[in-house]
């Protein structure tokens, strides 16, 4: 269940309370009058099935509660037959529920073009480059763990689906700055290692399995990126994200970026072009998969929202002031 804590202005508190009481997927509806300051109003609380959390919050936004009051939400474990009935009243599975407000929060927190983000991009590129030199899958996987690029990629998809220009600009800026900077610093480090004799004076992808596979993009590479994009987006929207999802997404981006830098330093232009094509192709594939996944989930939400509004109107409760 999802716990909602709402501060409703006095002129709309009756409507909020009536709406929640009329929603079958909401239980434990509690109202305490005139207890809130900044903002002033009544405190209304309830537990709601995850599938309907965003639908109810949308109703509250239509009433302007987010402007003149406040809306807080948090997951909660509710042990009650009423909770079981509320979940049964909400079509679908709680495990598949997308709470769009939480998704907005997650993506907004991960798109800032900060110093830490850039440092992670640089470190991931350097570690991957060393892994390519040594033909070491372990080091390349380590670089994938470090890579932070999935946050801005996911945020771009969310921004495009929700038509949020500001978030789209911020997330794309992080990608446009992060990848080139990571590649540039990796080029500098690779050149330094070569000039100091730490790495060989010659390097070709033909003699390194990892580099060779990265520098030869094909349909399977795009398909892996597409699948990784779906998995990553589902993990984010269903609150099951973890380090392994980041690794899965990075498998198609960080190694390609690092191999671009290595090939540039050693003048292996065929490998450089192939790696750059791999990077761009995979970024496009992840974005496409993310957009399609979110688009389908958004359509389910829109249909649920329409059904909820129709139900409220049938009960004589309007969802707008």
- C-alpha–C-alpha distance, residues 249 and 251, integer Å: 5
Write down the pLDDT at residue 243: 46
- CATH class of the 2-97 domain in this structure: alpha beta
Residues of the chain where predicted confidence (pLDDT) is lower than 50: 242-243, 321
- 210-221 as b/e: b if 16+ CB within 10 A: bbbebbebeeeb
Model confidence, pTM: 0.84
CB atoms within 10 A of CB 117: 20
- C-alpha–C-alpha distance, residues 83 and 77, integer Å: 9
Which residue from 52, 33, 53 is spatially nearest to 43, judged by alpha carbons? 33
Domain ranges of the chain: 2-97, 103-302
């Amino acid at each position: 269940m999802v716990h909602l804590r709402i501060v409703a202005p006095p002129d709309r508190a009756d409507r909020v309370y009536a709406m929640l009481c009329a929603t079958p997927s909401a239980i434990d509806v509690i109202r305490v009058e005139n207890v809130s300051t900044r903002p002033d109003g009544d405190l209304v609380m309830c537990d709601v099935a995850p599938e309907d959390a965003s639908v109810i919050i949308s109703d509250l936004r239509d009433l302007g509660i987010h402007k003149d009051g406040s809306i807080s939400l948090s997951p909660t474990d509710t042990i009650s037959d009423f909770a079981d009935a509320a979940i049964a009243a909400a079509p679908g599975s709680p495990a598949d529920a997308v709470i769009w407000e939480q998704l907005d929060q997650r993506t907004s927190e991960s798109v800032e073009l900060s110093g830490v983000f850039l440092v992670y991009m640089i470190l991931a590129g350097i570690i991957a480059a060393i892994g390519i030199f040594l033909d070491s899958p372990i080091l390349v996987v380590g670089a994938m763990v470090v890579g932070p690029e999935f946050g801005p990629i996911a945020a771009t998809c969310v921004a495009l689906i929700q038509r949020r220009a500001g978030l789209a600009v911020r997330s794309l800026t992080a990608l446009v700055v992060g990848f080139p900077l990571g590649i540039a610093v990796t080029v500098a480090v690779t050149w330094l290692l070569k000039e100091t004799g730490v790495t060989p004076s010659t390097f070709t992808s033909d003699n390194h399995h990892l580099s060779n596979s990265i520098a030869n993009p094909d349909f399977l590479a795009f398909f892996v990126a597409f699948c990784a994009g779906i998995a990553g987006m589902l993990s984010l929207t269903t609150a099951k994200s973890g380090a392994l999802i980041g690794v899965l997404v990075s498998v198609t981006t960080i190694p390609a970026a690092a191999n671009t830098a290595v090939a540039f330093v050693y003048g292996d232009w065929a490998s450089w072009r192939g790696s750059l094509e791999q990077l761009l192709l995979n970024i496009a594939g992840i974005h496409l998969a993310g957009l399609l996944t979110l688009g389908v989930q958004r359509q389910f939400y829109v249909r649920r929202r329409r059904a909820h509004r129709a139900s409220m109107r049938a009960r004589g409760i309007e969802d707008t002031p």
